[in-house]
Structure 1
Amino acid sequence: MKRLRLYLRIARLLAVIGLGLVLAGWVSLLERLRRHDLMPLRQRLTRWFLARLAAALPFRVSVHGQLPDRPMLWVGNHVSWTDIPLLGALAPLSFLSKAEVRAWPLAGWLAHKAGTLFIRRGSGDSNLVNRQLARHLHQKRHLAIFPEGTTTDGSRVRTFHGRLLASAIEAGVALQPVAIGYRHGAGRDTEVAPFIGDDDLPSHLLRLLKADLIEVDIHLLAPIESHGLERGALAQRAQQAVHDALFGIPEDRLRDVA
């Protein structure tokens, strides 16, 4: 029975990926035929595709909070590549990703055609990327970044780096903090959904598709206005909000509030 379930999941996933390739090929053709900006179309098609990709994965998703009513810079914790389809299904988003993803077979090409921006870690190009992010935000488009700079197993929230939050300050837009938590059985999933360490995409996909249903909680937290704040303060506030949504408010801060 489990083997049949695996085959059905693989077939559904391959069908969705095939659809994505068709859409990406169509966008490539439009790029050659037209010269005007295709990013709004890319974002709409990407949202449609990512919603179907997320539905093809063994997740049951619960969304808490309200979607923003204006374009913002989404910032959240990062557990897995699956964070991207789960968030991308909620709104027309563009993402910032590590440069290595661009080289992934099929997935890298699809990400590129979806309008993903790529950054090479440690290359010192954060100023260039900040300008690209600010340009998107000035054009009233949602963007999403993961300020931890890497994935975790979901058992903690790493430090949010503020260097890429300068784009929100420059564009005068708010941050939309997002907390993503994966649950498997009675507790937090730290083994199946997380994409960490030496994981590669094919083996992670197989592990995921073999698994029982995984619960996913997506918390859309109160926006943080960027006006009047330094990027470090923005990062700290967003990190604290995400941590509190996933793990609760620490006792020392509860005592301070009381």
Structure 2
Amino acid sequence: MSATWDGEEPPATFSPGILGWLRILVRGTAIVLIIACGLAILLPLRLIERPVHGMFRPWTPHITRIVCRLSLMCMGLTLERRGTPMRTPGALVANHSSWLDIFALNASGVVYFVSKSEVAGWPGIGFLARSTGTLFIARDRREARAQNRAFETRLLAGQRLLFFPEGTSTDGLRVLPFKSTLFEAFFAPDLRTALSIQPVSVTYHAPHGADQRTYGWWGDMDFAPHLLRTLALARQGRVVVAYHDPIRVADMPDRKALAAAAEAAVRTGHELA
């Protein structure tokens, strides 16, 4: 994981006004209810799914996908999907701009996120992440071998893991260089010949006339103010999730070449969206 990106000054503080607070109340309440209903279905279903299918989750990820799609609709943020999520075994990698990426990527297909271990302890968010099968990893090179084993176990169980190789979020206007460390796991003998990596570009388009960094969340920006700002918008923009051709791990000589190929595809897709 890299250090937090803080290359741009965040937008100025905002005052939502009466109508803004009304939109926050209506949209926020609707999203909370959707998430609560989703958990009320997902958690009991997981109690059945776990002993029958073990680590593989054939049912509950579809609940997550529906919840995220409905949440985006409540926000008013339009989701546009281009390309097709791969059906073959493997993992996905994407650029990272915002907490909204979680909703956009979950709404577009069935994935299991890879996240820094600190997220597991965040109030509310940590519980949601654990409930949806997030794989937590530590920012410690001494944990690399154990983390590679966790990757291998999940992938062999049929899960499609998704991680952000930039290691940090940005203002949404750029793609940072990909870190190659996590790509090493895909070169394990049991995985290399069987897996593909699918690059995914996530591009946000702000409402007409708004700051193009509207949906970016980076540096020291707090989550709550950014959430309120997003919910308060009178007009919303759109997010484009573009799936690119999968890259066969066996066709790459090493993790650095694989990371570079995935970065090139994501960067091109981000620029063209």
Name the TM tier (shorter chain): 0.7 to 0.9
Correspondence for 2:180: 162
CA-to-partner distance for each residue in 1:173-219, whole Å, 9 max, x for gaps?
11110001111135896533112112222222111101220211111
Residue number among 214, 221, 229 corresponding to 2:244 in the alignment: 221
Correspondence for 2:64: 46
CA-to-partner distance for each residue in 1:33-80, whole Å, 9 max, x for gaps?
947615414433332333333333331111111221323210010011
1-structure distance, mates of 2:37, 2:229: 23
1-structure distance, mates of 2:228, 2:174: 25
Asked if structure 2 preserves the Cα contact closer than 8 Å seen for 1:182 and 1:188, the reply is: no
CA-to-partner distance for each residue in 1:60-102, whole Å, 9 max, x for gaps?
1111112213232100100112111211122221110112221
Please, which moves more after superposition, 46-55 or 235-244? 46-55
What SS does the aligned partner of 1:147 have? coil
2-structure distance, mates of 1:52, 1:126: 37
Residues 69, 36 of structure 1: alpha-carbon distance in 2 compared, 3 angstrom cutoff: closer
Asked if structure 1 preserves the Cα contact closer than 8 Å seen for 2:56 and 2:159, the reply is: no
Correspondence for 2:3: none
Matched, 1:37 2:54: yes
Residues 78, 124 of structure 1: alpha-carbon distance in 2 compared, 3 angstrom cutoff: farther
1-structure distance, mates of 2:208, 2:148: 41
2-structure distance, mates of 1:217, 1:12: 23
What SS does the aligned partner of 2:248 have? coil
Matched, 1:179 2:201: yes
Correspondence for 2:267: 243
Correspondence for 2:130: 112
RMSD: 2.4
What SS does the aligned partner of 1:181 have? strand
Q: Which runs of 5+ in 1 are unaligned?
A: 249-258
2-structure distance, mates of 1:67, 1:20: 23
Asked if structure 1 preserves the Cα contact closer than 8 Å seen for 2:92 and 2:162, the reply is: yes
Residue number among 71, 86, 91 corresponding to 2:89 in the alignment: 71
- Structure-1-length-normalised TM-score: 0.85
Aligned length: 247
2-structure distance, mates of 1:182, 1:188: 12
Within 5 Å, which residues of 2 pair with 1:55-204?
Answer: 55-122=73-140, 124-170=142-188, 171=191, 172-186=194-208, 190-204=212-226
The letter of the residue matching 2:263 is Q
2-structure distance, mates of 1:237, 1:8: 43
Looking at both structures, which has the greater relative contact order when contacts are Cα pairs under 8 Å and sequence separation is at least 6? Answer: 2
- Identity among equivalent pairs (%): 32
